[in-house]
Chains A and B, each alone.
Chain A
């Protein structure tokens, strides 16, 4: 279970740290006016400062409870959290597996896993959907539009 307050805090910290990174990096590019006009770091620096200031405001507003009706205490219940994880974790594993397995094998495995493991569909049905997905990708991207999707380290090792 995650409270709205915790979520607000986490997001404000996320945006704030991005802002700090922007400010620090833009200092390298120079700020202000030079013979070459407005220097490259000026605008990123300003936006970075705005992000940091805004995030601080959101952080404070997130901590101090207000009368606003939108401030429901619970943002994500544990059941919702499980549903979110059920979608995101396999997707993240899929992305992580692409460099090794390649796009075709990884996506087929991904489709098969998310359909067959929670028993949404029969094994056969899942296998057919998975194979059809990989085949469609191959035909449309590799053949029709000549976009070469990653084949993966495994395929390279096997000599494809």
Chain B
């Protein structure tokens, strides 16, 4: 799957490179990349990595400027995208909160106000505990959690981390106290200090902590082991982390896509231009380097595939949110 999409994108890049007539629409003025996160956040890093690759390979004649609009957990950027309807010079970089946030809080946008371009990378989730915690598997963790109320940390409220926490509660028949922090990095430090019992960070958010021996992953919420990579600690790498299903925590798959959008009401040619541009970006060695260093999984969903992904995720989150009573009235 991964190899195939890569092949496809390389093919597309070659095609587009050799036949300029293929692209019906070309940008005529500077392009603005809107990162729905503050400087230094995962989404910001993605936007800047893409900007860097486009500039390096001169994939467009026009200059690209990255603008941070991370206020309101990203809502600022999406609202801005909604307000720029019809403007093909604003590219919005976000996550799944483009469709999740409107479900649970009264923000003035919905993902339908935007034109989906692609989902470019998937961040995995893992269940982390403190290094010296007595449990070795997710099963042990659930047993211990059943007898005492565990504190689970995560980034933001009613967002991906809390949704996953509530899923664990339901599947594992336990009760967890969820404590929201501003970011996953903050939750990781709180776990290292022993103020929390666990969190569900992405690999990149806790990599340094794992290597430093303050915390370790119990399992990954993925159908199969993560791809082989360099060892993180003396003995283990990402591929050695068992899946949660193997350990008796029956959540097969939970991932956070990095998504790219245009404002609403742009023409199909304009959207096609950016789909193509992102495919070219993905075919570069710099992109692979970025994916590896941030421990993400390379994917490329666009068009009907992307729509289907959104629909499925939305149904799922809506179910969790309605069970928790989070849905906005």
Q: Within 8 Å by CB, do A and B touch in the complex?
A: yes
Chain B residue nearest to A34 (CB atoms) is B325
Compute how far the CA of A127 lies from the CA of B30 in the bound complex, rounded to whole angstroms: 30
Neighbouring A residues of B67 by C-beta, 8 Å: 148
Chain A residues numbered 32-73 whose CB sits less than 8 Å from any CB in chain B:
none
Neighbouring A residues of B32 by C-beta, 8 Å: 148
Neighbouring B residues of A148 by C-beta, 8 Å: 30, 32, 65, 67
Compute how far the CA of A141 lies from the CA of B142 in the bound complex, rounded to whole angstroms: 54
Compute how far the CA of A87 lies from the CA of B89 in the bound complex, rounded to whole angstroms: 37
For chain B, the bracket of interface size reads under 10
Interface string of B61-98 (1 = CB under 8 A from A): 00101110000000000000000000000000000000
For chain A, the bracket of interface size reads under 10
Q: Name the distance in Å between A110's Cβ and chain B's nearest Cβ.
A: 25
A146 on the interface (CB 8 Å rule)?
yes
Compute how far the CA of A6 lies from the CA of B152 in the bound complex, rounded to whole angstroms: 54
Neighbouring A residues of B66 by C-beta, 8 Å: 146
Q: Name the distance in Å between A154's Cβ and chain B's nearest Cβ.
A: 16
Q: Name the distance in Å between A49's Cβ and chain B's nearest Cβ.
A: 23
Interface string of B15-34 (1 = CB under 8 A from A): 00000000000000010100
Chain A residue nearest to B179 (CB atoms) is A37
Compute how far the CA of A148 lies from the CA of B31 in the bound complex, rounded to whole angstroms: 10
Chain A residues numbered 132-160 whose CB sits less than 8 Å from any CB in chain B:
146-148
B residues near A (Cβ < 8 Å) are 30, 32, 63, 65-67
A residues near B (Cβ < 8 Å) are 146-148
Given contacts A148-B30, A148-B67, 6 further A-B contacts (CB under 8 A): A146-B63, A146-B65, A146-B66, A147-B65, A148-B32, A148-B65
Query: Which 6 residue pairs of A and B lie closest in terms of their CB atoms, listed nearest first?
Result: A146-B65, A148-B65, A148-B32, A148-B30, A146-B63, A147-B65
Can you list 8 A-B contacts (CB < 8 A)?
A146-B63, A146-B65, A146-B66, A147-B65, A148-B30, A148-B32, A148-B65, A148-B67
